[in-house]
Amino acid sequence: MNFPQRVRSLRKAKRMTQGDLATQVGVSTMAISKYECGKSFPSSVVLVKLAKALEVSVDSFFRPNAVEVANFSYRNGEKLSHSMLNFIEYKVKDEAQKWLQLREIFASQVSLPVYEPIDFLVENELSMEDVEDLALRVRDEWGLGFDPIYNLIGLLESKGILVKCVDLETKFAFEGVSAQADDIPIMVISKAWSTCRQRFTLAHELGHLLLNGKVADTDLELYCNRFASAFLIPRDAIFQMIGERRKQVSFAELQILKEKYLISLQALVKRLSELLVISTRESQVLNKFIKESGWKVEEPGDQDMPVEKPQLVQQLVYRGVVEGVLSHSKAMELLHITALDLRQRLLGGEHLHARYAD
| Alpha carbon separation from 79 to 83, 85, 188 (Å, rounded) | 12, 10, 16
Which pLDDT belongs to residue 356?
47
Helix axes 217-232, 128-141, angle to 10 degrees: 50
Domain boundaries of the chain, sorted by first residue: 1-64, 119-304
**pLDDT in 10s for each residue of the chain, 358 residues:** 578 888 887 787 677 889 999 999 999 999 999 999 988 999 988 988 898 888 777 777 776 655 666 667 766 555 667 777 777 777 787 788 888 888 888 877 778 888 998 888 888 888 889 999 999 999 999 999 999 999 999 999 999 999 988 877 666 677 888 888 777 899 988 888 999 999 999 999 999 999 988 888 889 999 999 999 999 999 999 999 999 999 999 999 999 999 999 999 999 999 999 999 999 999 999 999 999 999 998 999 999 999 999 999 899 999 989 988 888 888 887 887 778 888 888 887 554 444 444 5
Beta-strand ranges (E) seen in 45-194 are 69-74, 162-166, 176-181, 184-190
- Sign (positive/negative) of CA torsion 286, 290, 292, 296? negative
CATH number of 119-304: 1.10.10.2910
Say how far apart CA 162 and CA 188 lie, in whole Å: 8
What letters, b where the CB count within 10 A reaches 16 and e where it falls short, cover 291-310? Answer: eeeebeeebeebeebeebeb
DSSP letters, 282-349, are HHHHHHHHHHHTTTTTS-TTGGGSPPP---HHHHHHHHHHHTTSS-HHHHHHHHT--HHHHHHHHTT-
Say how far apart CA 99 and CA 102 lie, in whole Å: 5
Which pLDDT belongs to residue 152?
97
Which pLDDT belongs to residue 245?
96
Query: For residue 336, with 0-12 CB atoms within 10 Å meaning exposed, 13-18 middle and 19 or more buried, which class applies?
Result: middle
Q: Which amino acid, residue 292? A: E
Residue 178, strand partner residues: 73, 187
Which pLDDT belongs to residue 192?
86
* Gap between the terminal Cα atoms of the chain: 26
- Say if residues 283 and 273 touch (Cβ distance below 8 Å): yes
Q: Which residues contact 105 (CB under 8 A, 6 or more apart)?
A: 320, 325, 326
**Which of 45, 71, 53 lies closest to 7, judged by CA?**
53
Q: Phi first, then psi: what are they for 177, rounded to 5°?
A: -150, 150
Which pLDDT belongs to residue 112?
84
- Say if residues 277 and 244 touch (Cβ distance below 8 Å): yes
The whole-model pTM stands at 0.82
Q: Which CATH architecture has domain 1-64?
A: Orthogonal Bundle (1.10)
